[in-house]
Amino acid sequence: MTCSLHLNDFMNGLVRRNPGETEFHQAVHEVARDVLPFIQTRPVYCENRILERMTEPDRIIIFRVSWEDDHGNIRANRGYRVQFNNSIGPYKGGLRFDKGLNLSILKFLGFEQTFKNSLTGLPLGGGKGGSDFNPKGKSDREIMRFCQSFMTELWRHIGPDTDIPAGDIGVGSREVSYMYGQYKRLSNTFTGTLTGKGIAYGGSMIRTEATGYGCVYMMDHILNHHGNGLEWKTALVSGSGNVAQYTIEKLIDSGVKVLTASDSSGFIYDKDGIDREKLAYIKDLKNNRRGRIAEYAEEFGVEYHEGKKPWIIPGDLAFPCATQNEILLSDAKALVANGCMAVAEGANMPVHQDGVDLFDVAKIYFAPAKAANAGGVAVSGLEMSQNSMRLSWTREEIDEKLKKIMKHIHDMCVEYGMENSRVNYRKGANIGGFIKVADAMVAFGNC
Ligand code: NDP
Ligand code: 2IT
């Protein structure tokens, strides 16, 4: 059988089958343009229609979540779990609570997760879920009732060898704990069915820090590989949630001056750099008081740019850690014009494809999300191992394993991303993540 699958034909088919799902189209296109030329050199993948099959989720579960607010009103939201691909392990990926959430976003996230989880080298399949529930402004009791109601349906679809959810935007340790409590009650089991749990009840050391720390480890590897290093650099970080906080923490510890942090209302520009004390303020502000980043500007007397993103500030390194498509072409142009040398995606798909292409042309090192932010799910995988063994590893042991995993991912990118003596990390991550899943699917036959 000859094999000639062209990007346009492939994408036209995907868009026809998934109308209006722009984020999903974008994520698949970014992978397909690297993977399709590679597939032409390995006919077995083409003959087995691996990419067509890999872009169709195994199944999607959609359900109603009814809950009662503090005023006694019954409210209804929609819950989702996209079980994307379990070829190399049980479905694994976070839950997002965000008012704008929809199936297109969840399919892009589940698709990306499949490649990311493969890159970690751990036996993890890909999945993603969540709800269009808006946690902002809700009381603690409302969050609890929502989480319990959400899990009252989800629990029958998940399990320690089936599907293991975790956190994402709007879902942190508080929400994971409420959901785990309900899961435990309904299933009458104590197993590792969610990750990101509290340390007292099966959580892993470093899981909270892992995505941000891993992202900085990846940037360090990229700079070292090119004869450079982190020390004395300046950095722009977006977001002020879980990923941003621990990216900032590891950057401070690595001798980097972090100039910015943000939320969906605007960003702060701290010319002196965010230090440990100021970071503690951000953690308390966001995790305990659920406040806005504008309060940092008032507290420390620094600039606050309402309705703007940090990319207009000059800085050596950029770490977008908030959400998808937060670096559009105009933002990427500003980064290039200001001399930015490297970008690592802490968030999932924060750089729009036009920006990725510009970084390519401008020879800016670009670590895509599936490589740069894989530390979070990697330590989730380690949490699963500890739960299965009924043992806990120390902080030092986990950090050591996380470092090894990020090095392994970097080396995979180098192995599959070499282009005219330059590493294309995007291409390397796409092909490196694809191969293991593709080989498993070929081995399983036509299923
Ligand atoms: P959090 O909910 O802890 O924080 C999200 C941050 O992003 C907040 O500062 C939030 O601001 C901001 N944000 C959210 N939506 C927007 C928007 N539309 N425009 C601008 N800013 C926005 O989430 P996480 O830190 O966990 O997740 C951040 C990113 O990292 C996501 O892309 C997620 O998928 C990814 N990720 C997370 C992992 C994890 O382990 N948690 C692992 C790997 C990737 P505001 O408060 O105003 O909404
Ligand atoms: O996007 C991601 O990798 C996450 N939100 C973490 C998933 C996980 O299962 O830890």
Query: Helices (DSSP H) in 342-424: which residue ranges?
Result: 353-361, 369-372, 374-389, 395-417
Paired strand residues for 305: 267
Q: How far apart are CA 102 and CA 356, in angstroms?
A: 24
Please tell me if the CB atom of residue 124 comes closer than 6 angstroms to any atom of ligand 2: no
- The beta-strand segments (E) located in 11-162 are 59-68, 74-85, 91-97, 126-131
CA dihedral 285, 307, 21, 3 (to 10 degrees): -100
Q: pLDDT tens digit string along 365-415? A: 999 999 999 999 999 999 999 999 999 999 999 999 999 999 999 999 999
Q: What is the pLDDT of residue 384?
A: 98
Which ligand places an atom closest to the C-alpha of 373?
1
Please tell me if the CB atom of residue 242 comes closer than 6 angstroms to any atom of ligand 2: no
Please tell me if the CB atom of residue 94 comes closer than 6 angstroms to any atom of ligand 2: yes
Which ligand places an atom closest to the C-alpha of 246?
1
370 carries an active-site annotation: no
Specify burial of residue 183 (Cβ count, 10 A radius: 0-12, 13-18, 19+): buried
Closest to 26 measured CA to CA, from 37, 10, 11, 39: 11
Residues of the chain with CATH 3.40.50.10860: 59-190
Using CA positions, which residue lies closest to atom 9 of ligand 2? Answer: 93
Residues of the chain with CATH 3.40.50.720: 210-372
Provide the greatest CA pair distance for the chain. Answer: 68
Tell me, in angstroms, the distance from the centre of ligand 1 to residue 442's CA.
Answer: 35
Q: pLDDT tens digit string along 248-282? A: 999 999 999 999 999 999 999 999 999 999 999 99
CATH code 3.30.420.40 for 210-372: no
- Contact at 8 Å (CB) between 313 and 269? yes
- Contact at 8 Å (CB) between 388 and 427? no
**CATH H-level superfamily of 59-190:** Leucine Dehydrogenase, chain A, domain 1 (3.40.50.10860)
Q: What is the pTM of this model?
A: 0.98
Using CA positions, which residue lies closest to atom 36 of ligand 1? Answer: 347
- The beta-strand segments (E) located in 264-309 are 266-269, 303-306
Choice among 128, 233, 250, 278 that is catalytic: 128
Using CA positions, which residue lies closest to atom 19 of ligand 1? Answer: 264
Q: pLDDT tens digit string along 88-140? A: 999 999 999 999 999 999 999 999 999 999 999 999 999 999 999 999 999 99
Q: pLDDT tens digit string along 29-74? A: 999 999 999 999 999 999 999 999 999 999 999 999 999 999 999 9
Please tell me if the CB atom of residue 346 comes closer than 6 angstroms to any atom of ligand 1: yes
Q: How far apart are CA 91 and CA 84, in angstroms?
A: 7
Using DSSP, state whether 94 is helix, strand or coil. Answer: strand
Q: What is the pLDDT of residue 2?
A: 55
Terminal CA-to-CA distance of the chain, rounded, Å?
Answer: 20
